[in-house]
Amino acid sequence: MLYGKALRDEIASAGTTPLIGVYDMYSASLAAAHYDGLFVSGFGFAASYYGLPDIGFIAWPDMVAFAERLRGAFPRHHLLVDIDDGYVDAELACHVVRRLERSGISGVVLEDQKRPRRCGHTEGKQVLPLEEYLAKLNQVLESRTDLLVVARTDATDDEEIMHRASALAATDADVVLVDGVRSVEAIRRIRGVIGNKPLLFNQIAGGKSPRLSLSELAALGVDVAIYSTPCLFAAHRAMEEAMAELKATDGRLPSVDGSSRAGAGAAVGAGEVTAMLTENLRRHSTR
């Protein structure tokens, strides 16, 4: 299957394509039951895998291994992976891209940030000289065959944002992302300068960008939207509440029906796995 082509075709269809941010296999199981596209964000992966902020701690083998596990578990879903700045140098970025493409990943996001990097919705971001980033981006584009590539800029000055968005749109990158867009008007301006190139919008709760529905994004000419943190933030809130309740009741578990346990089992395919094991045992016992 050509996963990159499949995602390109989906993005080219009418409306705005949603890709839901996941941070581990369990969150991916839940998101995959509701949406056809998943996104691995650096924010969520750094928090869940390392317990650290998204400021450049991610090691590329860890991200590749996680992406490979996701593809094995969800062979029919679109899967976009955040590879930050390509892990510093262009040669390594190309190696990672080739590994991910061989693993069946649909696409990657490559940013123009300078180290030490920051989450796209925080202050203090610095960007590489445009020519340096374009050289890295073009090497990555030449190293892929089918993989979709999102060219991302983290510029914060309005004039520089438009200049870089236009430059990224002129490359062979499949999609352009300006992270940390602060207004609907800015989205319209970016849409205007990148021509027919598909536009991606990053939605993160509590971030700098406006909260918009898929219908509103489609009306603005946005082709694809990534939702970086809904699973992570929901889990954080639920676990905080559960721990506070457990502590307040002197360690007594709350009274719940069996649906919670059954739901958790269903999310990880407990029924299918049990049925498979039962069938295997039956076959062996009849030999």
- Of 12, 36, 3, 18, the C-alpha closest to 144 is 3
In this prediction, residue 277 carries a pLDDT of 52
Residue 248 is which amino acid? A
Q: pLDDT tens digits, residue range 133-174?
A: 999 999 999 999 999 999 999 999 999 999 999 999 999 999
The residue whose two tokens read 């262009």 is 90
Tell me what the mean pLDDT of segment 55-68 comes to: 96
Q: In whole numbers, what is the pLDDT of the chain averaged over residues? A: 91
Query: CA–CA distance from 202 to each of 83, 141, 161 (Å)?
Result: 15, 22, 15
- Of 36, 28, 119, the C-alpha closest to 67 is 28
Tell me what the mean pLDDT of segment 11-28 comes to: 97
Classify domain 3-236 at the CATH class level.
Answer: alpha beta
In this prediction, residue 283 carries a pLDDT of 65
- Of 190, 192, 193, the C-alpha closest to 202 is 190
The residue whose two tokens read 């369990």 is 26
Token pair belonging to 63: 């991200």
In this prediction, residue 208 carries a pLDDT of 80
In this prediction, residue 207 carries a pLDDT of 78
Token pair belonging to 164: 């870089």
In this prediction, residue 276 carries a pLDDT of 52
214 vs 1: CA distance, rounded Å:
28
Token pair belonging to 189: 């301006």
DSSP H or E segment with residue 158: helix 158-169
In this prediction, residue 257 carries a pLDDT of 73
Q: pLDDT tens digits, residue range 234-284?
A: 999 999 999 999 999 999 999 877 655 556 556 666 566 555 556 555 665
SS3 state of residue 5: helix
Whether the full predicted model's pTM is greater than 0.75, yes or no, is yes
Task: Spell out the residues 6+ positions from residue 52 whose beta carbon is closer than 8 angstroms to its own.
Answer: 46
CB-CB contact of 96 with 60 (8 Å)? yes
CB-CB contact of 110 with 151 (8 Å)? yes
DSSP H or E segment with residue 184: helix 184-193
CB-CB contact of 8 with 147 (8 Å)? no
Tell me what the mean pLDDT of segment 90-106 comes to: 98
CB-CB contact of 108 with 93 (8 Å)? no
CB-CB contact of 16 with 223 (8 Å)? yes
172 vs 4: CA distance, rounded Å:
14
72 vs 95: CA distance, rounded Å:
20
Q: Is the per-residue pLDDT at 212 higher than 90?
A: yes
Task: Spell out the residues 6+ positions from residue 85 whose beta carbon is closer than 8 angstroms to its own.
Answer: 93, 110, 111, 112, 113, 114, 115, 117, 128, 136
